[in-house]
Amino acid sequence: MKTWEEMEKVQPLASRIITNSIQKDRISHAYLIQGARGTGKREIAQLLAKGLFCEQKTGIEPCNACNMCKRIDSRNHPDVHWIEPEGQSIKIEQVRRLQKEFTYSGLESDQKVYIIQSAELLTLNAANRILKFLEEPNKKTTAIMLTENSQAIIATIRSRCQVIDLQPLSPTLFYEILVESGVSEGNAVFMRALTNDLNEATRLLSDDWFAEARKLVVQLVEMFAINPDDVYLFIHRHWLAHFKDREQHEQGLDLLLLAFRDVLYFHIGNEAAIVCFQAGDERLERLAMHFSQEQLAIILQQLLQAKRSIKQNVHPTLVMEQLTLQIQR
Ligand SMILES: [Zn+2]
Protein backbone atom coordinates (compact mmCIF):
# COMPACT_ATOMS: atom_id res chain seq x y z
CA MET A 1 0.00 0.00 0.00
CA LYS A 2 2.32 2.70 -1.25
CA THR A 3 -0.28 5.18 -2.51
CA TRP A 4 -3.37 6.71 -0.95
CA GLU A 5 -5.39 5.19 -3.77
CA GLU A 6 -4.33 1.69 -2.65
CA MET A 7 -4.75 2.58 0.99
CA GLU A 8 -8.27 3.82 0.41
CA LYS A 9 -9.37 0.33 -0.67
CA VAL A 10 -8.28 -1.10 2.67
CA GLN A 11 -8.85 1.88 4.99
CA PRO A 12 -11.38 4.15 3.27
CA LEU A 13 -12.35 6.28 6.24
CA ALA A 14 -8.86 6.84 7.66
CA SER A 15 -7.51 7.60 4.17
CA ARG A 16 -10.21 10.17 3.52
CA ILE A 17 -9.65 11.96 6.84
CA ILE A 18 -5.90 12.20 6.32
CA THR A 19 -5.88 13.02 2.61
CA ASN A 20 -8.40 15.79 3.27
CA SER A 21 -6.05 17.36 5.76
CA ILE A 22 -3.14 17.01 3.34
CA GLN A 23 -5.16 18.71 0.61
CA LYS A 24 -6.08 21.56 2.92
CA ASP A 25 -2.53 21.75 4.20
CA ARG A 26 -3.81 21.14 7.69
CA ILE A 27 -1.86 18.13 8.86
CA SER A 28 -2.22 17.61 12.61
CA HIS A 29 0.83 18.03 14.77
CA ALA A 30 0.08 14.66 16.36
CA TYR A 31 -1.68 11.52 15.19
CA LEU A 32 -2.53 8.43 17.14
CA ILE A 33 -3.22 5.64 14.68
CA GLN A 34 -4.89 2.60 16.17
CA GLY A 35 -5.41 -0.71 14.41
CA ALA A 36 -4.67 -4.42 14.61
CA ARG A 37 -1.57 -5.93 13.05
CA GLY A 38 -1.60 -5.74 9.28
CA THR A 39 -4.17 -2.98 8.97
CA GLY A 40 -1.70 -0.47 7.49
CA LYS A 41 -0.46 1.63 10.43
CA ARG A 42 3.14 1.78 9.24
CA GLU A 43 2.12 2.36 5.64
CA ILE A 44 -0.08 5.29 6.65
CA ALA A 45 2.76 6.79 8.70
CA GLN A 46 5.06 6.47 5.67
CA LEU A 47 2.48 8.02 3.36
CA LEU A 48 2.05 10.91 5.77
CA ALA A 49 5.80 11.46 5.98
CA LYS A 50 6.13 11.31 2.21
CA GLY A 51 3.29 13.82 1.97
CA LEU A 52 5.51 16.23 3.87
CA PHE A 53 8.83 15.54 2.15
CA CYS A 54 8.25 14.12 -1.37
CA GLU A 55 9.72 16.37 -4.02
CA GLN A 56 7.50 15.24 -6.87
CA LYS A 57 4.02 14.75 -5.47
CA THR A 58 1.13 14.39 -7.88
CA GLY A 59 -1.72 15.99 -5.98
CA ILE A 60 -1.64 14.18 -2.67
CA GLU A 61 0.17 11.11 -3.97
CA PRO A 62 3.88 10.69 -3.26
CA CYS A 63 6.04 9.72 -6.25
CA ASN A 64 7.73 6.82 -4.38
CA ALA A 65 10.77 7.43 -6.59
CA CYS A 66 12.48 10.61 -5.44
CA ASN A 67 15.37 10.62 -3.04
CA MET A 68 13.10 11.70 -0.18
CA CYS A 69 10.56 8.92 -0.75
CA LYS A 70 13.30 6.32 -1.04
CA ARG A 71 14.98 7.47 2.13
CA ILE A 72 11.67 7.37 3.99
CA ASP A 73 11.05 3.81 2.74
CA SER A 74 14.50 2.66 3.83
CA ARG A 75 14.20 4.57 7.12
CA ASN A 76 17.22 6.63 6.26
CA HIS A 77 15.58 10.01 6.08
CA PRO A 78 17.37 12.29 8.55
CA ASP A 79 14.20 14.16 9.47
CA VAL A 80 11.92 11.15 9.84
CA HIS A 81 12.70 9.34 13.08
CA TRP A 82 11.35 5.95 14.02
CA ILE A 83 11.15 4.80 17.61
CA GLU A 84 10.34 1.21 18.41
CA PRO A 85 10.48 -0.78 21.63
CA GLU A 86 13.90 -1.83 22.83
CA GLY A 87 13.05 -5.08 24.58
CA GLN A 88 9.68 -4.88 26.31
CA SER A 89 9.25 -1.12 26.37
CA ILE A 90 10.10 2.27 24.90
CA LYS A 91 12.37 3.93 27.40
CA ILE A 92 12.91 7.52 28.34
CA GLU A 93 16.48 7.42 26.99
CA GLN A 94 15.08 6.72 23.53
CA VAL A 95 12.81 9.76 23.76
CA ARG A 96 15.73 11.87 25.05
CA ARG A 97 17.85 10.79 22.07
CA LEU A 98 15.03 11.76 19.73
CA GLN A 99 14.62 15.18 21.30
CA LYS A 100 18.34 15.78 21.10
CA GLU A 101 18.24 14.98 17.40
CA PHE A 102 15.42 17.46 17.04
CA THR A 103 17.50 20.31 18.34
CA TYR A 104 19.56 20.11 15.15
CA SER A 105 17.99 21.82 12.20
CA GLY A 106 16.55 19.78 9.37
CA LEU A 107 18.13 18.69 6.14
CA GLU A 108 16.31 21.01 3.76
CA SER A 109 13.67 22.53 5.98
CA ASP A 110 12.80 22.56 9.66
CA GLN A 111 10.14 19.95 9.08
CA LYS A 112 10.52 16.92 11.34
CA VAL A 113 8.50 13.78 11.80
CA TYR A 114 8.75 11.18 14.50
CA ILE A 115 6.95 7.87 14.35
CA ILE A 116 6.52 5.79 17.51
CA GLN A 117 5.70 2.16 16.89
CA SER A 118 3.86 0.18 19.60
CA ALA A 119 3.28 3.43 21.46
CA GLU A 120 1.38 1.50 24.15
CA LEU A 121 4.81 0.30 25.31
CA LEU A 122 6.05 3.76 26.28
CA THR A 123 7.08 3.66 29.92
CA LEU A 124 5.28 6.23 32.06
CA ASN A 125 8.43 8.36 32.18
CA ALA A 126 8.86 8.18 28.44
CA ALA A 127 5.18 8.97 27.89
CA ASN A 128 5.42 12.03 30.13
CA ARG A 129 8.46 13.21 28.22
CA ILE A 130 6.53 12.84 24.95
CA LEU A 131 3.64 14.68 26.54
CA LYS A 132 5.81 17.70 27.30
CA PHE A 133 6.93 17.60 23.70
CA LEU A 134 3.33 17.59 22.51
CA GLU A 135 2.39 20.41 24.83
CA GLU A 136 4.71 22.80 23.07
CA PRO A 137 3.64 22.08 19.53
CA ASN A 138 6.21 23.20 17.09
CA LYS A 139 4.46 23.89 13.83
CA LYS A 140 7.05 21.96 11.91
CA THR A 141 6.98 18.81 14.00
CA THR A 142 4.59 15.97 13.35
CA ALA A 143 4.21 13.11 15.81
CA ILE A 144 2.74 9.86 14.55
CA MET A 145 2.05 7.25 17.20
CA LEU A 146 1.05 3.76 16.18
CA THR A 147 -0.66 1.33 18.48
CA GLU A 148 -2.80 -1.77 18.61
CA ASN A 149 -4.51 -0.45 21.72
CA SER A 150 -4.96 3.28 22.24
CA GLN A 151 -6.62 2.69 25.63
CA ALA A 152 -3.20 1.63 26.93
CA ILE A 153 -1.87 5.11 26.21
CA ILE A 154 -2.19 7.79 28.86
CA ALA A 155 -5.27 9.95 28.36
CA THR A 156 -3.29 13.19 28.39
CA ILE A 157 -1.40 12.05 25.29
CA ARG A 158 -4.54 10.72 23.60
CA SER A 159 -6.36 13.99 24.07
CA ARG A 160 -3.60 15.89 22.29
CA CYS A 161 -3.64 13.66 19.22
CA GLN A 162 -5.96 13.24 16.33
CA VAL A 163 -7.04 9.63 16.84
CA ILE A 164 -7.44 7.59 13.67
CA ASP A 165 -9.09 4.18 14.04
CA LEU A 166 -8.23 1.59 11.42
CA GLN A 167 -10.63 -1.15 10.44
CA PRO A 168 -9.56 -4.80 10.64
CA LEU A 169 -8.91 -6.37 7.24
CA SER A 170 -11.91 -8.44 6.34
CA PRO A 171 -11.05 -12.16 6.25
CA THR A 172 -12.50 -12.37 2.74
CA LEU A 173 -10.29 -9.58 1.45
CA PHE A 174 -7.30 -11.10 3.18
CA TYR A 175 -8.03 -14.56 1.73
CA GLU A 176 -8.26 -13.06 -1.77
CA ILE A 177 -5.00 -11.16 -1.34
CA LEU A 178 -3.27 -14.37 -0.20
CA VAL A 179 -4.54 -16.48 -3.10
CA GLU A 180 -3.64 -13.72 -5.56
CA SER A 181 -0.12 -13.71 -4.21
CA GLY A 182 0.23 -17.43 -4.95
CA VAL A 183 -0.66 -19.04 -1.62
CA SER A 184 -2.59 -22.35 -1.96
CA GLU A 185 -6.26 -22.23 -1.01
CA GLY A 186 -5.70 -24.59 1.93
CA ASN A 187 -2.90 -22.46 3.31
CA ALA A 188 -4.90 -19.29 2.67
CA VAL A 189 -7.80 -20.65 4.74
CA PHE A 190 -5.33 -21.54 7.48
CA MET A 191 -3.55 -18.17 7.43
CA ARG A 192 -6.81 -16.24 7.35
CA ALA A 193 -7.61 -17.83 10.71
CA LEU A 194 -4.26 -16.87 12.17
CA THR A 195 -3.47 -13.34 11.01
CA ASN A 196 -4.54 -10.56 8.70
CA ASP A 197 -1.04 -9.39 7.96
CA LEU A 198 0.17 -10.38 4.52
CA ASN A 199 3.85 -9.99 5.38
CA GLU A 200 3.43 -12.16 8.41
CA ALA A 201 1.49 -14.79 6.46
CA THR A 202 4.11 -15.09 3.73
CA ARG A 203 6.91 -15.12 6.27
CA LEU A 204 5.25 -17.91 8.27
CA LEU A 205 4.51 -19.99 5.19
CA SER A 206 8.15 -20.04 4.17
CA ASP A 207 9.42 -20.62 7.69
CA ASP A 208 10.61 -24.15 8.54
CA TRP A 209 10.17 -23.49 12.25
CA PHE A 210 6.53 -22.69 11.66
CA ALA A 211 5.94 -25.74 9.45
CA GLU A 212 7.34 -27.90 12.23
CA ALA A 213 5.17 -26.08 14.77
CA ARG A 214 2.04 -26.91 12.75
CA LYS A 215 3.03 -30.59 12.77
CA LEU A 216 3.72 -30.63 16.50
CA VAL A 217 0.35 -29.07 17.24
CA VAL A 218 -1.58 -31.71 15.32
CA GLN A 219 0.56 -34.45 16.92
CA LEU A 220 -0.14 -33.09 20.38
CA VAL A 221 -3.90 -32.90 19.86
CA GLU A 222 -3.94 -36.48 18.57
CA MET A 223 -1.79 -37.64 21.43
CA PHE A 224 -4.24 -36.27 23.98
CA ALA A 225 -6.85 -38.57 22.47
CA ILE A 226 -4.76 -41.63 21.63
CA ASN A 227 -1.75 -41.79 23.97
CA PRO A 228 -2.58 -39.42 26.82
CA ASP A 229 0.09 -41.02 29.01
CA ASP A 230 2.80 -39.88 26.59
CA VAL A 231 1.74 -36.22 26.50
CA TYR A 232 3.86 -35.14 29.45
CA LEU A 233 6.99 -36.58 27.87
CA PHE A 234 6.08 -35.12 24.48
CA ILE A 235 5.71 -31.66 26.01
CA HIS A 236 9.15 -31.86 27.58
CA ARG A 237 10.94 -33.53 24.73
CA HIS A 238 9.41 -31.87 21.72
CA TRP A 239 7.15 -28.96 22.59
CA LEU A 240 9.44 -27.07 24.96
CA ALA A 241 12.39 -27.78 22.69
CA HIS A 242 10.61 -26.16 19.78
CA PHE A 243 8.70 -23.28 21.34
CA LYS A 244 11.23 -21.16 23.14
CA ASP A 245 10.53 -17.49 23.65
CA ARG A 246 7.28 -15.95 24.79
CA GLU A 247 6.18 -15.05 21.28
CA GLN A 248 6.71 -18.63 20.09
CA HIS A 249 4.74 -19.96 23.05
CA GLU A 250 1.86 -17.64 22.27
CA GLN A 251 1.95 -18.79 18.68
CA GLY A 252 1.96 -22.43 19.76
CA LEU A 253 -1.11 -21.82 21.91
CA ASP A 254 -2.82 -19.97 19.05
CA LEU A 255 -2.24 -23.00 16.83
CA LEU A 256 -3.55 -25.35 19.52
CA LEU A 257 -6.66 -23.19 19.76
CA LEU A 258 -7.24 -23.54 16.03
CA ALA A 259 -6.67 -27.31 16.11
CA PHE A 260 -9.09 -27.92 19.00
CA ARG A 261 -11.59 -25.56 17.40
CA ASP A 262 -11.40 -27.70 14.25
CA VAL A 263 -12.59 -30.69 16.27
CA LEU A 264 -15.48 -28.60 17.58
CA TYR A 265 -16.35 -27.48 14.05
CA PHE A 266 -16.30 -31.12 12.96
CA HIS A 267 -18.79 -31.93 15.74
CA ILE A 268 -21.24 -29.28 14.62
CA GLY A 269 -20.81 -30.07 10.93
CA ASN A 270 -19.14 -26.78 10.00
CA GLU A 271 -16.37 -28.39 7.97
CA ALA A 272 -15.83 -25.31 5.84
CA ALA A 273 -14.36 -23.60 8.90
CA ILE A 274 -11.75 -26.29 9.55
CA VAL A 275 -8.20 -24.95 9.18
CA CYS A 276 -5.50 -27.14 10.76
CA PHE A 277 -6.77 -30.46 9.48
CA GLN A 278 -8.00 -31.16 5.98
CA ALA A 279 -11.76 -31.43 5.60
CA GLY A 280 -12.56 -35.14 5.40
CA ASP A 281 -9.49 -36.03 7.47
CA GLU A 282 -10.20 -39.34 9.29
CA ARG A 283 -8.28 -38.15 12.32
CA LEU A 284 -11.02 -35.58 13.01
CA GLU A 285 -13.59 -38.29 13.39
CA ARG A 286 -11.45 -40.08 15.96
CA LEU A 287 -10.81 -36.84 17.82
CA ALA A 288 -14.48 -35.95 17.83
CA MET A 289 -15.25 -39.35 19.36
CA HIS A 290 -12.78 -38.68 22.12
CA PHE A 291 -13.63 -35.05 22.93
CA SER A 292 -17.24 -34.04 23.55
CA GLN A 293 -18.43 -30.56 22.58
CA GLU A 294 -18.60 -29.61 26.26
CA GLN A 295 -15.02 -30.76 26.82
CA LEU A 296 -13.83 -28.84 23.79
CA ALA A 297 -15.50 -25.65 24.97
CA ILE A 298 -13.69 -26.01 28.30
CA ILE A 299 -10.36 -26.77 26.59
CA LEU A 300 -10.66 -23.61 24.48
CA GLN A 301 -11.16 -21.61 27.68
CA GLN A 302 -8.14 -23.29 29.25
CA LEU A 303 -6.02 -22.47 26.20
CA LEU A 304 -7.02 -18.81 26.41
CA GLN A 305 -6.14 -18.81 30.09
CA ALA A 306 -2.75 -20.38 29.27
CA LYS A 307 -2.14 -17.61 26.74
CA ARG A 308 -2.91 -15.00 29.37
CA SER A 309 -0.47 -16.67 31.76
CA ILE A 310 2.28 -16.59 29.11
CA LYS A 311 1.59 -12.90 28.57
CA GLN A 312 1.89 -12.35 32.31
CA ASN A 313 5.33 -13.98 32.22
CA VAL A 314 4.40 -17.21 33.99
CA HIS A 315 7.08 -19.76 33.13
CA PRO A 316 6.11 -21.62 29.92
CA THR A 317 7.04 -25.04 31.37
CA LEU A 318 4.63 -24.43 34.21
CA VAL A 319 1.91 -23.20 31.87
CA MET A 320 2.23 -26.21 29.57
CA GLU A 321 2.32 -28.70 32.44
CA GLN A 322 -0.78 -27.22 33.98
CA LEU A 323 -2.55 -27.15 30.63
CA THR A 324 -1.67 -30.83 30.07
CA LEU A 325 -3.16 -31.78 33.43
CA GLN A 326 -6.31 -29.77 32.73
CA ILE A 327 -6.88 -31.31 29.31
CA GLN A 328 -6.18 -34.85 30.55
CA ARG A 329 -8.70 -34.48 33.35
ZN1 LIG B 1 8.77 11.37 -3.80
Angle at the Cα of 155 (from 142 to 26), degrees rounded to 5?
Answer: 30
Angle at the Cα of 230 (from 226 to 233), degrees rounded to 5?
Answer: 150
pTM for the structure as a whole: 0.64
Is residue 174 a part of any domain in this protein?
A: no
Distance 64 CA to ligand 1 centre (A): 5
Q: Which of 105, 132, 165 is a domain's end point?
A: 165
Q: Which of 165, 198, 228 is a domain's end point?
A: 165
Distance CA 179, CA 244 (A): 31
Q: What is the pLDDT of residue 224?
A: 94
Distance 58 CA to ligand 1 centre (A): 9
The contacts of residue 42 (CB under 8 Å, 6+ apart) are: 117, 146
Q: What is the pLDDT of residue 84?
A: 95
Phi, psi of 162 (to 5 degrees): -80, 120
Phi-psi region of 111 (alpha: psi -120 to 50; beta: other; left: phi over 0): beta
CA-based torsion, 200, 204, 209, 214: positive or negative: positive
Is residue 183 a part of any domain in this protein?
A: no
Is residue 177 a part of any domain in this protein?
A: no
Kindly state whether residues 111 and 251 are assigned to the same domain.
no
Kindly state whether residues 152 and 247 are assigned to the same domain.
no
Kindly state whether residues 144 and 211 are assigned to the same domain.
no
Distance 41 CA to ligand 1 centre (A): 20
Q: What is the pLDDT of residue 107?
A: 57
226 C-beta neighbours (distance < 10 Å), count = 12
**CB burial string 161-177: b at 16+ within 10 A, e below:** beebebeebeeeebbeb
Q: Please list the alpha-helical segments (H only) found in the chain.
A: 4-10, 12-23, 41-53, 67-73, 92-103, 124-135, 155-158, 171-180, 185-194, 198-205, 208-226, 231-234, 240-242, 246-267, 282-290, 293-311, 316-328
Kindly state whether residues 245 and 103 are assigned to the same domain.
no
Kindly state whether residues 153 and 215 are assigned to the same domain.
no
Q: Identify the three-state secondary structure at position 30.
A: strand
Is 63:69 a contact under the CB 8 Å cutoff? yes
Kindly state whether residues 28 and 137 are assigned to the same domain.
yes
Distance 70 CA to ligand 1 centre (A): 7
Phi, psi of 239 (to 5 degrees): -65, -55
Is residue 221 a part of any domain in this protein?
A: yes
Kindly state whether residues 213 and 152 are assigned to the same domain.
no
Print the domain residue range for 13. 4-165
Phi, psi of 315 (to 5 degrees): -65, 130
Distance 17 CA to ligand 1 centre (A): 21
Sequential DSSP letters for 87-115: TTBB-HHHHHHHHHHHHSPPSSSS-EEEE
Is residue 123 a part of any domain in this protein?
A: yes
Distance 60 CA to ligand 1 centre (A): 11
Distance 57 CA to ligand 1 centre (A): 6
Q: What is the pLDDT of residue 188?
A: 92
Q: Which of 139, 165, 191 is a domain's end point?
A: 165
Kindly state whether residues 161 and 249 are assigned to the same domain.
no
Is residue 136 a part of any domain in this protein?
A: yes
Question: Residue 297 sits in a domain of what CATH number?
Answer: 1.20.272.10
Kindly state whether residues 141 and 34 are assigned to the same domain.
yes
Number of folded domains in the chain?
A: 2
Distance 63 CA to ligand 1 centre (A): 4
Is 252:217 a contact under the CB 8 Å cutoff? yes
Kindly state whether residues 234 and 323 are assigned to the same domain.
yes
Question: Residue 21 sits in a domain of what CATH number?
Answer: 3.40.50.300
DSSP 169: P
Distance 196 CA to ligand 1 centre (A): 29
Kindly state whether residues 57 and 157 are assigned to the same domain.
yes
**Distance between alpha carbon 127 and the CA centroid of its chain, in Å?**
22
pLDDT, one tens digit for every residue, the chain (329 residues): 789 999 998 899 999 999 999 999 889 999 999 998 778 999 999 999 999 999 999 999 999 999 999 999 999 998 999 999 999 999 999 999 998 888 776 556 788 999 999 999 999 999 999 999 888 767 689 999 999 988 999 999 999 999 999 998 888 888 888 898 889 988 999 999 888 777 788 889 999 999 999 999 999 999 999 999 999 999 999 999 999 999 999 999 999 999 999 999 999 999 888 999 887 789 999 999 999 999 999 999 999 999 999 999 999 999 999 999 999 87
Is residue 178 a part of any domain in this protein?
A: no
Distance 26 CA to ligand 1 centre (A): 20
Kindly state whether residues 131 and 42 are assigned to the same domain.
yes
Q: What is the pLDDT of residue 215?
A: 94
Distance 67 CA to ligand 1 centre (A): 7
Distance 37 CA to ligand 1 centre (A): 26
Is residue 181 a part of any domain in this protein?
A: no
